[in-house]
Structure 1
């Protein structure tokens, strides 16, 4: 697991933790990824990992006085990193995640130009174009303020299963999680989307904290007959929730 943490200097860094069962983790003493450029003076956050063509790629958010940008790095062992820097430099942007394979000969990446979820396309993982909005907030629903991708997509026989976060416009905005399903060959086509959230702040440590009323995920892992959803709770804790794969597939089929 990669996770974001802050020290007393309030700069975000990325730590590394390992587990045999997906539930109990041991943390490395020092961060494995730290700010390395002027784009990252305030920190590096929200790592999302995708295994692609023999490497593990990490999309992450770089914070600096210049704004918020999507950056990328890759690794083979989580200790040594190749940095590619900011990959969409001209606009505030975050919530990025790669698809685990090419679609129609192009690399495809989620990103978020507030308040909507977008896709971008590339031939080389360096230059990104064709920014296309695929989904946005829904008036009167649990995700009526803004949305963004959670975990990188999981391929199923019915489509790309995408975990995403939605924010409700309340006095203290509330972050919840839901699913959407995208067409396998045309991921700009949304097949299905959660009418109700699958996870929302309920526990005291999800409701109260550095950023209250938040469950926010960057990772969903397929393990045996379940999906393990790892999420941040109120910006103070890391937690995991599980859901049976068959329950999710039944929802897609219904």
Structure 2
């Protein structure tokens, strides 16, 4: 991931387009929807928004729909309904939760006709630091379960540890990437860590409903692509929206 960021923007775009296809395949298999229309819709949206559409209004419309779907999914996360979605709902979730997540993740580094390599790399670092230290702190001192009905191993102590170390990472990143200031890096870190945690829990709930441990087996020891990128794709639209606010206000 980092090598494509620092290689060139086309490599970055292609990698995340391919990751999106992989996640959609795993999502489609887990929720049990059929056909290949969802892949066509994803590729059409991705190509249009990455290469063709440059007006602000269509981007804001897609962002609004994606955020609405993601917020609705948070209600699903805390719901106890066993079958809350129809087939059309599952298609819409796939298109906007997963496809929208990858589209806005890919769009994050593009600002004023410049590819902000350090900014997107910093966002990856925040997610990785949060995940790593949430695991380490949770394994070491974690006792209070965070959401045992969905993810029994996650703890409140681990989540707080991940957030604290992500804030430290944000402070260090502010010394390297000056496109946003230290307060904005801290705010971005909070958004990414919190929404990333929800994304992780949300994907766990989809797997629990399907009765599977992993979304796939393409990455030995880690599961599927969706397993690895669940935090990023859920947090990406919120991070994009936050950055837009930062740039607009500044």
TM-score by length of 1: 0.26
Indicate the structure whose relative CO is greater, using CA pairs within 8 Å and at least 6 residues apart: 2
